[in-house]
């Protein structure tokens, strides 16, 4: 038998961009989006792939592939995070960039959409190697990013330290007299290096603000309500910690290291410390280990997916026994999963609304940098609350007006804003 025939077929990963396209087409049909504008928005403006070498600690040279997709900049500079993950590829980055365009449009912040990343497993590298990889990637991107053009931020497996390295590399390659006015080339920076108070918790805080709005609409009390969280990185752990003061009870959590359950409650603060020390939720002492399916079947009031795409699918959606899915992650539900959630009567606060707190506070950080200001935490939180609640109401009203699901309504709200801008401005030449 030929060797090739013996080789196990590698499972093809579902296209994340196909999900975006399906969601976009559904909304565009319902709202009767102008055909020309539909054509424009159905393709990203620019797609940049850079392959670059980095010298490892042992002297070996390794090659890396980095991506930046700039989907649209009709509303303002391209904006969106950078992720370091083995699943990063052009299809995923294209999808994530497109979601950023819709996210900024719904929140009425003056940004377009972009996303990028490096295909790599960051835990395999030393801190020195990570710094070199980040700096060389920034150098390779060159003027494809810039403070008034395309502004990266943290995403999966990237944090404020990585943003500080990007900032330093970008500034170091600028002419000396221009350096001081470029600090807003990235957001999500450490506070001392130009970051904003409240940015670290912003995405999780936005998730909780939208959940609070949902409870008001549904006459539902958060005190004693149970919730389960998938992904215990920045977004998941902050959402979990910020729900605790409401008296809600975290009963199960899952990440790449495993899943855990304690129906009496898991302390989100203690679990966060455990994750920081050990690298994941597995082996948390005050809970029992469970399998993925048991996690997905855990009865709770709220499920917060805060990990990667395509977690709620036609296979897993029927497992869910919750009232609300609040999407902290980008793209956790695929279109089949969506239809099943609808038929099961489970409410969804869609990603482009639910996790918009991160980019909203990024916008505040960018404004503070441009104006040489530093805002108090209360001011940041209040301003974000107003923006995300206004966006929530916009989506809720759109869902009513078109008698449609919330994801489609969120798309319609974003697309209507973009359609108006394109119609007002026209197309050059
Ligand atoms: N990566 C985050 C997101 O997906 C934040 C983006 C930003 O702050 O620019 O929304």
> How far does residue 154's CA lie from ligand 1's centre (Å)?
6
Within this chain, do residues 159 and 255 fall inside the same structural domain, yes or no? no
Within this chain, do residues 172 and 208 fall inside the same structural domain, yes or no? no
Nearest CA to ligand 1 atom 9: 80
Please report, for residues 29, 106, 279, 399, 426, the alpha-carbon distance to residue 98 in angstroms, rounded to integers and kept in the order given.
18, 13, 31, 21, 21
Does residue 163 lie in a domain region? yes
Does residue 156 lie in a domain region? yes
Nearest CA to ligand 1 atom 8: 359
Within this chain, do residues 163 and 55 fall inside the same structural domain, yes or no? yes
Give the residues across from 254 on adjacent strands. Answer: 230, 259
Within this chain, do residues 208 and 318 fall inside the same structural domain, yes or no? yes
> How far does residue 359's CA lie from ligand 1's centre (Å)?
5
**CB burial of residue 90 (10 Å; 0-12, 13-18, 19+):** middle
| 16-31 helix and 335-343 helix, angle to the nearest 10 degrees | 60
Give pLDDT tens digits for 75-131. 999 999 999 999 999 999 999 999 999 999 999 999 999 999 999 999 999 999 999
Does residue 365 lie in a domain region? no
Within this chain, do residues 44 and 177 fall inside the same structural domain, yes or no? yes
Does residue 142 lie in a domain region? yes
- Tell me which residues are annotated as active site: 115
- Which pLDDT score, from 0 to 100, does residue 14 have? 84
Tokens of 352: 């482009």
Does residue 427 lie in a domain region? no
- Which pLDDT score, from 0 to 100, does residue 176 have? 87
Within this chain, do residues 149 and 217 fall inside the same structural domain, yes or no? no
Q: Say if residues 39 and 418 touch (Cβ distance below 8 Å).
A: no
Looking at the structure of the chain, the number of domains it has is 2
Integer Cα distance of 57 and 41 in angstroms: 43
Domain boundary among 318, 349, 380: 349
| Half-sphere exposure for 76 (CA within 13 Å, toward CB) | 19
**CB burial of residue 426 (10 Å; 0-12, 13-18, 19+):** exposed
Q: What are phi and psi of 427, to 5 degrees?
A: -115, 130
The range of the structural domain enclosing residue 172 comes to 38-191
Instruction: Give the atom of ligand 1 at the shortest distance from the alpha carbon of 80.
Output: 9
Within this chain, do residues 164 and 215 fall inside the same structural domain, yes or no? no
pLDDT by 10s per residue, the chain, length 429: 333 444 444 556 789 999 999 999 999 999 999 999 999 999 999 999 999 999 999 999 999 999 999 999 999 999 999 999 999 999 999 999 999 999 999 999 999 999 999 999 999 999 999 999 999 999 999 999 999 999 999 999 999 999 999 999 999 999 888 887 899 999 999 999 999 999 999 999 999 999 999 999 999 999 999 999 999 999 999 999 999 999 999 999 999 999 999 999 999 999 999 999 999 999 999 999 999 999 999 999 999 999 999 999 999 999 999 999 999 999 999 999 999 999 999 999 999 999 999 999 999 999 999 999 999 999 999 999 999 999 999 999 999 999 999 999 999 999 999 999 999 999 999
> How far does residue 218's CA lie from ligand 1's centre (Å)?
28
Give the residues across from 78 on adjacent strands. Answer: 150
Domain boundary among 303, 328, 349: 349
Does residue 239 lie in a domain region? yes
CATH of the domain at 326: 3.40.50.720
Within this chain, do residues 181 and 208 fall inside the same structural domain, yes or no? no
Within this chain, do residues 132 and 222 fall inside the same structural domain, yes or no? no
Within this chain, do residues 101 and 131 fall inside the same structural domain, yes or no? yes
Pocket, ligand 1, Cβ cutoff 6 A: 79-81, 153, 155, 187, 330, 355, 358-359, 362
Does residue 207 lie in a domain region? yes
Integer Cα distance of 2 and 166 in angstroms: 48
CATH of the domain at 116: 3.40.50.10860
Within this chain, do residues 48 and 151 fall inside the same structural domain, yes or no? yes
- Which pLDDT score, from 0 to 100, does residue 11 have? 59
- Which pLDDT score, from 0 to 100, does residue 5 have? 41
- Which pLDDT score, from 0 to 100, does residue 181 have? 86
Does residue 100 lie in a domain region? yes
- Which pLDDT score, from 0 to 100, does residue 2 have? 39
Within this chain, do residues 342 and 263 fall inside the same structural domain, yes or no? yes
- Which pLDDT score, from 0 to 100, does residue 1 have? 36
Domain boundary among 315, 349, 383: 349
């Amino acid at each position: 038998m030929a060797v090739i025939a013996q080789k196990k077929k590698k499972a093809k990963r579902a296209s994340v961009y196909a999900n975006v396209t399906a969601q976009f087409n559904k909304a565009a049909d319902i709202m009767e989006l102008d055909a020309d504008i539909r054509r424009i928005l159905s393709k990203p403006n620019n797609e940049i792939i850079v392959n670059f070498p980095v010298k490892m600690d042992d002297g070996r040279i390794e090659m890396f592939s980095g991506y930046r997709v700039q989907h649209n900049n009709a509303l303002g500079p391209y904006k969106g995070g950078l992720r370091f993950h083995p699943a990063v590829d052009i299809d995923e980055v294209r999808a994530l960039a497109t979601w950023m365009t819709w996210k900024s449009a719904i929140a009425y912040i003056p940004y377009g959409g972009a996303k990028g990343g490096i295909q790599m497993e960051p835990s395999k590298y030393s801190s020195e190697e990570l710094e070199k990889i980040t700096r060389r990637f920034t150098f390779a991107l060159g003027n494809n990013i810039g403070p008034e053009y395309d502004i990266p931020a943290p995403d999966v497996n990237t944090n404020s330290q990585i943003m500080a390295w990007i900032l330093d590399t970008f500034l170091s390659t600028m002419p000396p007299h221009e350096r001081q006015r470029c600090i807003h080339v990235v957001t999500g920076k450490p506070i001392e290096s130009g970051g904003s108070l409240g940015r670290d918790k912003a995405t999780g805080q936005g998730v909780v603000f939208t959940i609070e709005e949902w409870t008001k609409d549904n006459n539902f009390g958060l005190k004693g309500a149970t919730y389960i969280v998938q992904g215990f990185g920045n977004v998941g752990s902050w959402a979990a910690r910020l729900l605790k003061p409401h008296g809600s009870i975290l009963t199960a959590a899952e990440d790449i290291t495993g899943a855990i359950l304690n129906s009496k409650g898991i302390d989100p603060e203690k679990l966060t410390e455990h994750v920081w020390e050990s690298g994941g939720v597995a082996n948390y002492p005050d809970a029992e280990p469970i399998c993925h399916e048991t996690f997905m079947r855990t009865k709770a009031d709220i499920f917060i997916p805060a990990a990667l795409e395509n977690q709620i699918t036609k296979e897993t959606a029927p497992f869910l026994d919750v009232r609300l899915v609040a999407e902290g992650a980008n793209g956790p539900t695929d279109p089949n999963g969506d239809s099943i959630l609808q038929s099961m009567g489970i409410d969804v606060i869609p990603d482009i609304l639910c996790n918009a707190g991160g980019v909203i506070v990024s916008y505040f950080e960018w404004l503070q940098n441009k104006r040489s200001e530093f805002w108090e935490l209360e001011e940041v939180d209040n301003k974000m609350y107003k923006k995300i609640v206004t966006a929530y109401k916009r989506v809720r009203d759109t869902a009513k007006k078109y008698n449609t699901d919330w994801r489609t309504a969120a798309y319609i709200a974003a697309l209507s804003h973009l359609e108006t801008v394109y119609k007002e401005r026209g197309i050059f030449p």
